[in-house]
Amino acid sequence: MSDRPPALVIGSTILAVMVAVSLLAPWIAPYAATEQHILKRLERPSPAYLLGTDQYGRDLLSRTLMGGRTALLLGVGAVLLGLAVGVPVGLAAGYFGGRADDAIMRIVDAMLSFPSLLLALLIITALGASTAHALAAIGIANVPGIARIVRGNTLALREAEFVLAARARGEGHVYVMFGEILPNVLPAIVVETTIRVGFAMLAAASLSFLGLGVQPPTADWGLMIREARQYVFLSPWPLVAPGVALSLTIIGLNLFGDGLRDRLGGGS
């Protein structure tokens, strides 16, 4: 019998399906994401348009599938950017301690005083609205939270026997941090990453909904919801399709993260 937590199994299944259909979107989408059929505007689901059409007569199934690629790019890319900055910062703060820790964590605390979405909004307002700027803004907004998680785990390991042994061998600080401490912090980072990808995707969709993220005519779930809201009483399908896709993906990521945390926490 499998000892995998149910949340991990369900989350993995949802994620596998959503990632697969998003990656295969160019080959399985029945139409191009920007292809318009003006005489078929706001149609209900039919054999020709399985999820219906939007206000421009574009196939909602095709745009939802292609929008998944954009959402994954922004969510994963933003968290990877946050990890690239937050992990070294957290390792340095926890490893060196003292004044270095105080100085680094005061900056981190100042960034944490802003809600992540508000911080992303401030950054993107200064940079300008675009997909690349949205990715950068969300990535920077993830840095303080990641840094704090890594720092806490590093503090618990800085006096461990294997760290002291590495220092006694004359290993440099960089090796000790990245060669000895980081591998032991990695499980916590992996769990945190899976959960943060979902929040990053939601933040990206929020920015697109506000007109500050992905720009038309690119297929994106947040942008699709923004465009559909004024036609919701004429046809709910342009709002339902991307909304359900976004919700399922975030639920899958959260379940996967919770299950992974239970598995790693309960592992030997």
What share of the chain in percent tops pLDDT 90?
53
Q: How far apart are CA 144 and CA 178, in angstroms?
A: 19
CB 16 within 8 A of CB 25: no
pLDDT band at 212 (very low <50, low <70, confident <90, very high): confident
Q: Give me 138's structure tokens.
A: 């969300």
CB neighbour class for 202 (10 Å; exposed up to 12, middle 13-18, buried from 19): buried
pLDDT band at 58 (very low <50, low <70, confident <90, very high): very high
pLDDT for residue 249: 93
What share of the chain in percent tops pLDDT 70?
97
The fold adopted by the segment(s) 65-231 is MetI-like fold (1.10.3720)
pLDDT for residue 111: 87
Q: How far apart are CA 239 and CA 254, in angstroms?
A: 23
Q: Is the pLDDT of residue 3 over 70?
A: no
Q: How far apart are CA 117 and CA 212, in angstroms?
A: 12
pLDDT for residue 1: 43
CB 116 within 8 A of CB 139: no
Per-residue pLDDT reduced to its tens digit, 123-176: 888 888 888 899 999 999 999 999 999 999 999 888 888 888 988 888 888 999
DSSP state string for 96-126 = H-HHHHHHHHHHHHHHHTS-HHHHHHHHHHH
Q: Where are the domains of the chain?
A: 65-231
pLDDT for residue 268: 35
**Identity at 267, one-letter amino acid code:** G
pLDDT for residue 266: 46
Q: How far apart are CA 156 and CA 52, in angstroms?
A: 54
| Helix axes 131-157 and 116-127, enclosed angle (nearest 10) | 140
Phi, psi of 53 (to 5 degrees): -130, 165
Q: Looking up tokens 């618990």, which residue turns up?
A: 156
| Average pLDDT of the residues in 185-206 | 90
pLDDT for residue 265: 64
Alpha-helix residue ranges (DSSP H) falling in the chain: 6-23, 25-28, 60-96, 98-112, 116-127, 131-157, 161-168, 173-175, 182-209, 221-228, 237-266
pLDDT band at 50 (very low <50, low <70, confident <90, very high): very high
Instruction: Provide the mean pLDDT of the chain.
Output: 89
Per-residue pLDDT reduced to its tens digit, 72-131: 999 999 999 999 999 999 999 999 988 888 998 899 888 888 888 888 888 888 888 888
Q: How far apart are CA 73 and CA 127, in angstroms?
A: 19
| Helix axes 6-23 and 237-266, enclosed angle (nearest 10) | 130
